[in-house]
Amino acid sequence: MPKGTETEVAVTLALPVPISGDDIKSARAKRNLSQQQLADLAGTSRQQVQRIEQTGRGEDLDAVVSALGLDGSGEPQENNSGVTP
């Protein structure tokens, strides 16, 4: 159990795990997408996808994560049918 007050522990446990650039690159590769294809899906540029994969940061990070169907842990989300993208 994490140390700290009950409130600190609850807040700490509720925070999402950050997604790394390697998580983005790996998810893209698993879906057999090029950087350009992912950029088109996310509504951004290939250069922005490249930057996000290298640094794990970028102005369109949320759009890229969403286009890949990832949640805050870097794992695929299930859609309403129970099938992962």
Considering the domain 17-68, what is its CATH architecture?
A: Orthogonal Bundle (1.10)
- Per-residue confidence (pLDDT) for residue 18, from 0 to 100: 79
Query: What is the per-residue pLDDT for 81?
Result: 36
Domain residue spans of the chain: 17-68
- Whole-angstrom Cα distance, residue 1 to residue 58? 33
Quick one: which of 46, 36, 33 has its CA closest to 70? 33
Splitting the chain (85 residues) into consecutive groups of 10 residues, what average pLDDT does each group show? 48 61 95 97 97 93 93 50 41
Phi, psi of 44 (to 5 degrees): -135, -170
Residue 52: what pLDDT?
Answer: 95
